[in-house]
């Protein structure tokens, strides 16, 4: 199974995904590139920008994808 297929399967199961989760849960480091590939194949993926705290306690915005 390709990385893009793992991401698609994860999202189609009703779960959401962030870049960090893609690395820790699916072993996919470059999730944005795989999301782009999937969109290029016609998969409709939504992006929501959320605010999280980084390791330094700073607020940062990251993308959370869903279908």
Q: Order of strands, edge to edge, in the sheet holding 46-53?
A: 17-18, 59-66, 46-53
Tally the domains of the chain: 1
Residue 62: beta bridge partners? 50
Pairwise CA distance, residues 61 & 9, whole Å: 25
* Residue 45 structural domain: 3-66
pLDDT tier for residue 11 given thresholds of 50, 70 and 90: very high
pLDDT tier for residue 21 given thresholds of 50, 70 and 90: very high
If you count them, how many residues does the chain have? 67
Mean pLDDT of 14-37: 97
State residue 38's pLDDT score: 98
Mean pLDDT of 5-16: 98
Instruction: Count CB atoms within 10 A of the CB of residue 6.
Output: 16
pLDDT tier for residue 60 given thresholds of 50, 70 and 90: very high
């Amino acid at each position: 199974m390709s990385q893009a297929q793992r991401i698609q399967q994860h999202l189609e199961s009703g779960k959401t995904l962030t870049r960090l989760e893609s690395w820790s849960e699916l072993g996919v480091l470059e999730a944005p590139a795989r999301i782009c590939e999937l969109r290029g194949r016609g998969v409709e993926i939504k992006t929501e920008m959320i605010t999280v705290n980084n390791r330094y306690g700073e607020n940062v915005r990251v993308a959370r994808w869903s279908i």
